[in-house]
C-alpha cells in the first residue's frame, strides 16, 4: 500500500495490537506525514512490514510504540542507504524479537543498532526460504554473525568488555556462508561462563548455503552442559545431487533462472 495510506491507518486505528503490511508504491508522499508530529499506538505488540518502497523510515520516525515486542522489518533497499530500522531505534527498549534482512546493513549500521538493542532475546537474520531455490546469499549475514561473537566496551563501564545483545537466547540465520567452525565459535562465545552479565544462548537455527563441513553438535553440547543450558541446535545444509548429470532437466533453464541442481539436507542435531 502507499505510504500515506499506512500513515492514515496508524493514525486512526490506535488500538492496533498486531499489524502485517507491505509498502510497495514509491510515489512521493503527501503532506499527511509532514503534518503528523507523532502517532501513538499504545497497544501495538507485533508489527510486520515488508518495505519495497524504500520509504518506511518516514513513518517509523513518527510512531510511538511503547508496547512493541515483536518486529519484522524486511527491507529490500539498495546498498549504501541506511536501514529504516534505525528510525525506530530510540523507542525499541522493550523489543524482544526482531526479524531483519541483513543485506541492508553496513558494518557501522549493524554495530550502532546491535549496541543499543539490549532487550532483544530473539534475532532472526534472513528468511526461511530453504524449500525454494534462491540465489547465493549476501555476505552481510556473515558480517552480522561475526559481530555477535565479538566483545565491545561496555556501555556502563568502558574499562570492561562484553558481547552485543546481552539478553540474546534464540538465534536464527538463513542462507549462511559462515563455516561450521566459525558458527561453532559464535555459539561457544555466547555460552562463555566468564560473560556473567550476558544471557546464555539456548537455541540456534541455521540454514547454510553450502555442504556440511564438520559435525559441531558434540562441542556445542559439551559447552552448553558446562553452563547448565539445555541447548537446541537445528542446522540444515545443501547437498549436491550426485545424479544431477543424469536428470532430464540438467543444464536446462526456466526463464532466466537455471533449474536448481542441489537440494536441501536437513540436519536436526539435538534438543535435550
- Alpha-carbon gap, residue 55 to 26, rounded angstroms: 7
State the pLDDT at residue 92.
80
Burial of 65 (0-12, 13-18, 19+ CB in 10 A): buried
Gyration radius of the chain's alpha carbons? 21
Given this model, what pLDDT does residue 252 score? 53
CA 263/CA 54 separation, integer angstroms: 33
Give the residue ranges of the chain where pLDDT is below 50.
130-133, 135-136, 253-266, 268-272
Residue 181 makes CB contacts below 8 A (sequence gap 6+) with: 213, 214, 216
Contact 68, 94 (CB under 8 A): yes
Helix axes 107-116, 140-147, angle to 10 degrees: 40
Query: So what's the pLDDT on residue 7?
Result: 81
Q: What pLDDT shows up at residue 52?
A: 72
Q: What is the pLDDT of residues 31-67, one digit of tens each?
A: 555 566 788 999 999 999 887 766 677 778 788 899 9
What's the pLDDT at 133? 42
The reported pTM is 0.83
Cβ atoms of residues 16 and 43 within 8 Å: yes
Widest CA span of the chain, in angstroms?
64
Amino acid at each position: 500500500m502507499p505510504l500515506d495510506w499506512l500513515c492514515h491507518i496508524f493514525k486512526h486505528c490506535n488500538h492496533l495490537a498486531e499489524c502485517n503490511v507491505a509498502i510497495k508504491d514509491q510515489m512521493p508522499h503527501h503532506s499527511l506525514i509532514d503534518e503528523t508530529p507523532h502517532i501513538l499506538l499504545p497497544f501495538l505488540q507485533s508489527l510486520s512490514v515488508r518495505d519495497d518502497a524504500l520509504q518506511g523510515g518516514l513513518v517509523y520516525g513518527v510512531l510511538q510504540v511503547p508496547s512493541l515486542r515483536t518486529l519484522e522489518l524486511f527491507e529490500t533497499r539498495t546498498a549504501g542507504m541506511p536501514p529504516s530500522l534505525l528510525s525506530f531505534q530510540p523507542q525499541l527498549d522493550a523489543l524482544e524479537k526482531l526479524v531483519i534482512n541483513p543485506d541492508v546493513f553496513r558494518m557501522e549500521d549493524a554495530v550502532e543498532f546491535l549496541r543499543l538493542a539490549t532487550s532483544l532475546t530473539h534475532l532472526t537474520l534472513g528468511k526461511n526460504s530453504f524449500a525454494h531455490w534462491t540465489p547465493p546469499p549476501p555476505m552481510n549475514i556473515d558480517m552480522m554473525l561475526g559481530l555477535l561473537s565479538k566483545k565491545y566496551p561496555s556501555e556502563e563501564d568502558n574499562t570492561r568488555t562484553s558481547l552485543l545483545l546481552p539478553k540474546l537466547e534464540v538465534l536464527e540465520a538463513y542462507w549462511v556462508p559462515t563455516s561450521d567452525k566459525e558458527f561453532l565459535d559464535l555459539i561457544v562465545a555466547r555460552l562463555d561462563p566468564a560473560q556473567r552479565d550476558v544471557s546464555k544462548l539456548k537455541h540456534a537455527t541455521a540454514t547454510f548455503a553450502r555442504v556440511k563441513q564438520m559435525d559441531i553438535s558434540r562441542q556445542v553440547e559439551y559447552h552448553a552442559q558446562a553452563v547448565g543450558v539445555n541447548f537446541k541446535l537445528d542446522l540444515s545444509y545443501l547437498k549436491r545431487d550426485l545424479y544431477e548429470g543424469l536428470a532430464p532437466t540438467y543444464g536446462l533453464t526456466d526463464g532466466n533462472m537455471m533449474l536448481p541442481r542441489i537440494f536441501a539436507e536437513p540436519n536436526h542435531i539435538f534438543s535435550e
